[in-house]
Structure 1
Amino acid sequence: MVQYNFKKITVVPTGKDFIDIILSRTQRQTPTVVHKGYAISRIRQFYMRKVKYTQQNFHDKLSTIIEEFPRLDDIHPFYGDLLHVLYNKDHFKLALGQINTARNLIGKIAKDYVKLLKYGDSLYRCKSLKVAALGRMCTVIKRVGPSLAYLEQIRQHMARLPSIDPNTRTILICGYPNVGKSSFINKITRADVDVQPYAFTTKSLFVGHTDYKYLRYQVIDTPGILDRPFEDRNIIEMCSITALAHLRAAVLFFLDISGSCGYSIAQQAALFHSIKSLFMNKPLIIVCNKTDLQALEGISEDDMKLVMEMKAEAMKTLIGQGGEPTNDEGVLLTMSTLTEEGVIAVKNAACERLLDQRVELKMKSKKLNDCLNRFHVAMPKPRDQKERPPCIPEAVLEAKDKKAEQAAEKQKKLEKDLENENGGAGVYSASLRKHYILADDEWKEDIMPEILDGHNVYDFVDPDILQRLEELEREEGMRQEQVADDDFEMDGAELTPEEQEALAAIRKKKSLLIQQHRMKKSTAESRPTVPRKFDKDKQFTSERMGRQLSTLGLDPTLAINRARSKSRGRKRERSIDRGDQNGNDDMDLDGNQPNKKLRLRSRSQSRSRSKSRPPYEVVPGEGLKDSAQKKKAVKLAEKSHKNRNKDARKGEADRVIPTLRPKHLFSGKRSTGKTDRR
């Protein structure tokens, strides 16, 4: 279990937000109405309550901040030193101390002003004291504003720290930068650490988890360390030193024997010897990485000598039970994270060494003796030299065999048993067709394709498909015959020679028009029809139509008269009205004077044509009795749409404000009593 969860620390507000939160809560949670006519004791009580409530809110919020941040002296030394490396524990303690001082000052201010309020002689005096008390409290919070901002920055950074349990099984990876530490942790865990071909890609601790022998191990990737004095190391390197110093873990010291990291084996050996004091009493494994570039046997004699010295030092770090160094198996290993050769062997060796050490320490602890005292294993003493092997009666063995046979008969063979009998997983494939119900069992294993010649086979699996196809063809033939009977095509056999020439000219003209239409559609001339008043070229006129009909040998008089009568329907009325305005007598086409009432009625009807119907007028066929019933129906319909319209205003956010002016914020203070409305 991880003991320290820094992600649960409450957000630390800024000084201004802190004041707004407290004063807003005081205004909402305490009475706000007081009058001069009240008794002075009631006025004093009113303002004392304000001061006490504000002080209590400040005290609670500040106490939460102080208690939720970890005490560096009480937590595990690993986290204590890590926080000191990252934030400087003096500044951290100073900020928390200022918050504690502010809490005490606010308590003293409230105490002093409550005493003064007990002797306030008027509403004005009490109110002035209350304002002064709250103002001094806010001033104190403003002064600790930088400390609040500093603690908020620390809280955000601590929330991003990995969750490391200092007491669980841990594998720690260390070494020079760019030697393959992050690549290794990515191979054996699900961690996704950034890997780049330059130094100090990893700038903080990263944690992954792996399993070995049904146990969970945490693997920690540390930033690279350089061989230089302790005082010159930066924060990134100090994170690694802190983890090495305080975590009880198996240490994997990575060694790049190819030199591609930019550092020689001599430099890496010097780093090993400078920090070997941190490896005491810990399982240590020296891992020679990047063997795909350079094999261990191919390095120079000087480098091999340095590697052997490091191996000897690794033997001395962990002392066995009898005071002798442990065996050298698994102290020096080789691998390549690129080809993954030896990666699992290194992981298994580290987990095994760590497990052995933890078991050994537990065997030495007093806790084991407490457990052994609770066990008692009874061992019977021999009474003579005669051997007494276990004896099972024959009847029992026969009954057991008979029972096993009956159970085997009853038990149906499972697919798992068949798989084990026929070579195991990957060799035996279970048949999904053995339980098909078919007329012949031999058909079960027939291969039936789903797609054949580009068609879906199941579209053709229909016993009546031929019969239905014949019916469809017969029905289609009958329809075509009906259509052929209904169509009428003039063949021109019954026409005179003049009529045949006219028909040929019409058909020719029709084909030309079709071709022109197709050309217009295929070009940019495909545009809407132009109204006649914008026909500047006078292409579409009755005279032109008359000339075209005359060339065909037809009389155009009837067609021209019909076109004129259609286009001059309303112009006739306007000319009559215009003549009426000029004082002329109204005459119709026959020279008779029409009835003036009929003319006025026709004019009123034409004008009333554009008037809209009243909203609640009942239209025949709507099924409503009168306008009142229609008005009621319209109102009910609008009311039913109200909820849907309200839901339609919801945005993409989760927070929905159905009413823009909620009643509890705009209806004054609540009196003492029920709060069911909220």
Structure 2
Amino acid sequence: MRKVKFTQDSFDEKLSAILDEFPMLDDLHPFLASLMNVLYDKNHYKLALGQLRTARHLIDQVAKDYVRLLKFGDSLYRCKQLKRAALGRMATIMRRQKDPLAYLEQVRQHISRLPAIDPTARTLLICGYPNVGKSSFINKVTRADVDVQPYAFTTKSLFVGHLDYRYMRWQVIDTPGILDHPLEDMNTIEMQSITALAHLKSCVLYFMDLSEQCGYTIEAQCKLFHSIKPLFANKPTLLVMNKIDVTRLEDLSPENRALVDEIINSEGVLNVQVSCYTDEGVMELKNKACDALMEHRVDTKLKGNKINTILNRLHVAQPKARDDVVREPFIPDVVKQRKKYDKEDPERRRLEKDLEAEDGGAGVYNINMKKNYMLANPEWKEDIIPEIMDGKNIADFIDPDILEKLEALEREEEKLQADGFYDSEEDMFDSDDEREAQEFKLGHHKKLISQSSKKGMRNRAPLPRTAGLRTLSELTSGLKGAGLDPSRIQERAMNLAKVAGEKRKRAREEEEAQMDIDEGGSGSEGGDDQWMDVDGDETSPNKRVKSNSGGAVMAKGVRGPKSNRQLAGMRDDAQATKAIKLRNLGQRERNMHAKAGESDRAIKVKMPKHLFSGKRKMGKTNRR
């Protein structure tokens, strides 16, 4: 009985991809988990994922049940019906997950539009009442393009910008405006700001509008600061007084000034006055906030447990106290009395830079590396080679006849060159050892080439011998283009060509003479007609004539027709024709079915009666 293997891979793969794309809330950073709760309702999100996990479990169980039933299928039809029933139950389970899947798709689309916030990066967090200038500041210090409008709640979600300070990357987060009312009365837009303030380790920039153009009084802004101040714990905080181009801190009334001073005098709160309209104080605020956050991060690391583990591995050597005498650092009087270098002092110490400026500047002046040599005689500094080296006089090693010997050697070389000693193409060696080493190297190289060629030529296309060769005209044109005279090379090539032509002509004449001798011997036995040349006979003794049978036949009958391998063993043409007819007759049935050969798979019964007869509806038995 033929078995049908069934798996639920298609459903499992889709559900696994969905569940992997939506992670567990417990595995996320607290800020991201709280943001998910604010935006999408944590309970609804968990319920949707739980329903999908239950659906995957049910699909696995259905697959196991029907695979167990397939083992008892007594026909292919029953197995197919079991498979169809299993797929139907799985599709029903998936159809019930329509609402959770629609909700998760909306969550996925919204998450894809959220900015990428790194909870562990260096962060500047901007907060405050609506329309106090938060978005204007982030547009000034980063490349973010946040919409700025003269009405409240223009910013409805978190926006992120990035800046570089002291060769480090910083992220600036612009939060929506917050109103001063209880936490349970805040909407989703305000809760995003509260979530960022509660969970992100950052430097908080609380913006205030002293001109009250935002629509909220200074008293209300101060109350908001005190109400959300618990969220600023263990974070550097800056009070940013914006729009000073309209109203400064000094222009406030005594009542409002007292409220602002109460915040300024709070512990750990810095204050900066800025104007995003005129850019006054913007760079100062950025530098001050970054420095405050960096200092706070360093202090936190020093106070933590990590620094203790490092200090336990550090050891600073201290001098052992021999007595109770205090030994202070000693600085020589010469160092104390040394005059400080002054560029304007004409009697200052001359530096190499001063000498460079006096002698033509960079590119003209060349530093003298020998002027600081410490030698017994200062005059030796400029010598090319010192006269005395290693306690020996170099002059003692100079041969007085060196020039005469050099001239004699040059005359000998000229004589050898004139006699043609260097014209031979053989390599010349100075010693027998060098010649043997070169021979061994060449022999080893040829052996390696022969071994590699046997392996490499298996998969290499054969090339003609003329591939890569250059003609004499190409060679001469290249030499002329390089400015050389190729006349001697042309003359030598022509001489070599003449010698080779004469050699080939001699060989051809000797071959013709030998063939004439052979023909003369056979003519003496066969008759005089073999000695005579017939006028009009175009076939020469060595010319090949193509026969009708496909083989080449010599003019004198030396070579016969090539045999047909398909007709080998046949008595005559009639027997060969009969064999071909019988072969075609045997192939006729196979050709009718368009088969390439006898090895093609044959389906003996194309329509089994139990599968193609009677009613084949669901729930009906087949009629036999």
Alpha-carbon distance change, 213 to 406 in structure 1, aligned in 2, over 3 angstroms: closer
Q: What is the deviation of 1:268?
A: 1.1
The one of 102, 119, 124 equivalent to 1:166 is 119
Q: What is the deviation of 1:214?
A: 2.3
**Pair 1:229-2:229 in alignment:** no
For structure 2, which runs of at least 5 residues remain unmatched after alignment?
A: 335-348, 366-599, 602-624
Aligned match of 1:142? 95
- Mapping of 1:144-293 within 5 angstroms? 144-293=97-246
Aligned match of 2:294? 355
**Pair 1:130-2:69 in alignment:** no
Scaled by the length of structure 1, what TM-score is found? Answer: 0.48
Aligned match of 1:107? 60
Alpha-carbon distance change, 414 to 81 in structure 1, aligned in 2, over 3 angstroms: farther
For structure 1, which runs of at least 5 residues remain unmatched after alignment?
A: 1-39, 319-327, 393-400, 418-670, 673-678
Q: Secondary structure at the match of 2:26?
A: coil
Alpha-carbon distance change, 206 to 126 in structure 1, aligned in 2, over 3 angstroms: same
> Which whole-Å deviations, capped at 9, do the CAs of 1:57-99 have from their partners, x for residues lacking one?
3212212221231211121110000000000011111111111
The one of 296, 300, 306 equivalent to 2:253 is 300
Aligned match of 1:61? 14
Q: Secondary structure at the match of 1:248?
A: coil
Q: Secondary structure at the match of 1:220?
A: strand
- Mapping of 1:375-524 within 5 angstroms? 375-380=314-319, 413=361
Once the two structures are overlaid, the 10-residue window that deviates more, 143-152 or 230-239, is 143-152
Runs of 4+ in 1 over 4 A off after TM superposition: 379-392, 401-409, 411-415
**Pair 1:335-2:288 in alignment:** no
Q: Secondary structure at the match of 2:27?
A: coil
- Mapping of 1:28-39 within 5 angstroms? none
Alpha-carbon distance change, 135 to 254 in structure 1, aligned in 2, over 3 angstroms: same
Aligned match of 1:344? 283
Q: Secondary structure at the match of 2:272?
A: strand
- Mapping of 1:559-598 within 5 angstroms? none
One-letter amino acid of the counterpart of residue 366, structure 1: N
Q: What is the deviation of 1:310?
A: 2.1
Aligned match of 1:544? none
One-letter amino acid of the counterpart of residue 359, structure 1: V
Aligned match of 1:33? none
Q: What is the deviation of 1:389?
A: 6.2
Alpha-carbon distance change, 232 to 215 in structure 1, aligned in 2, over 3 angstroms: same
Contact 2:159 2:174 in 1 (8 A): yes
Alpha-carbon distance change, 117 to 414 in structure 1, aligned in 2, over 3 angstroms: farther
Alpha-carbon distance change, 132 to 254 in structure 1, aligned in 2, over 3 angstroms: same
Distance 1:284 1:101 in 2: 48
Distance 1:92 1:382 in 2: 69
Alpha-carbon distance change, 347 to 388 in structure 1, aligned in 2, over 3 angstroms: closer
> Which whole-Å deviations, capped at 9, do the CAs of 1:135-177 have from their partners, x for residues lacking one?
1111111111221121111111111111111122111100000
Alpha-carbon distance change, 263 to 407 in structure 1, aligned in 2, over 3 angstroms: same
> Which whole-Å deviations, capped at 9, do the CAs of 1:283-338 have from their partners, x for residues lacking one?
1111111111112111111111111122234x2xx4xxxxxxxxx6xx12211100
> Which whole-Å deviations, capped at 9, do the CAs of 1:118-143 have from their partners, x for residues lacking one?
11122221111111111111111111
**Pair 1:370-2:309 in alignment:** yes
Q: Secondary structure at the match of 2:265?
A: helix
Q: Secondary structure at the match of 2:162?
A: strand
Aligned match of 1:676? none
Alpha-carbon distance change, 291 to 406 in structure 1, aligned in 2, over 3 angstroms: closer
Distance 1:378 1:407 in 2: 44
> Which whole-Å deviations, capped at 9, do the CAs of 1:229-277 have from their partners, x for residues lacking one?
2111111000000000111111111100101111111111121122111
Aligned match of 1:77? 30
Aligned match of 2:537? none
Distance 2:355 2:309 in 1: 46
Alpha-carbon distance change, 124 to 294 in structure 1, aligned in 2, over 3 angstroms: same
> Which whole-Å deviations, capped at 9, do the CAs of 1:625-655 have from their partners, x for residues lacking one?
xxxxxxxxxxxxxxxxxxxxxxxxxxxxxxx
Q: What is the deviation of 1:374?
A: 3.3
Q: How many residues align?
A: 349
Distance 1:368 1:117 in 2: 65
Q: Secondary structure at the match of 1:179?
A: coil
One-letter amino acid of the counterpart of residue 249, structure 1: S
Scaled by the length of structure 2, what TM-score is found? Answer: 0.52
Alpha-carbon distance change, 138 to 387 in structure 1, aligned in 2, over 3 angstroms: closer
One-letter amino acid of the counterpart of residue 143, structure 2: R
Q: Secondary structure at the match of 2:173?
A: strand
Aligned match of 1:616? none
Q: Secondary structure at the match of 1:73?
A: helix
Alpha-carbon distance change, 402 to 154 in structure 1, aligned in 2, over 3 angstroms: same
Distance 2:102 2:361 in 1: 71
Contact 2:239 2:272 in 1 (8 A): yes
Distance 1:259 1:406 in 2: 61
> Which whole-Å deviations, capped at 9, do the CAs of 1:590-643 have from their partners, x for residues lacking one?
xxxxxxxxxxxxxxxxxxxxxxxxxxxxxxxxxxxxxxxxxxxxxxxxxxxxxx
Distance 1:227 1:391 in 2: 69
Distance 1:256 1:391 in 2: 61
Distance 2:151 2:288 in 1: 29
Q: What is the deviation of 1:345?
A: 1.2
Aligned match of 1:17? none
**Pair 1:98-2:51 in alignment:** yes
Contact 2:222 2:260 in 1 (8 A): yes
Distance 1:249 1:211 in 2: 16
Q: Secondary structure at the match of 1:253?
A: strand
Contact 2:356 2:362 in 1 (8 A): no
Aligned match of 1:532? none
One-letter amino acid of the counterpart of residue 342, structure 1: G
Distance 1:386 1:235 in 2: 66
Distance 2:249 2:281 in 1: 13
Alpha-carbon distance change, 128 to 221 in structure 1, aligned in 2, over 3 angstroms: same
Distance 1:193 1:85 in 2: 22
Alpha-carbon distance change, 369 to 107 in structure 1, aligned in 2, over 3 angstroms: same
Distance 2:124 2:200 in 1: 9
Q: What is the deviation of 1:407?
A: 11
Distance 1:83 1:108 in 2: 32
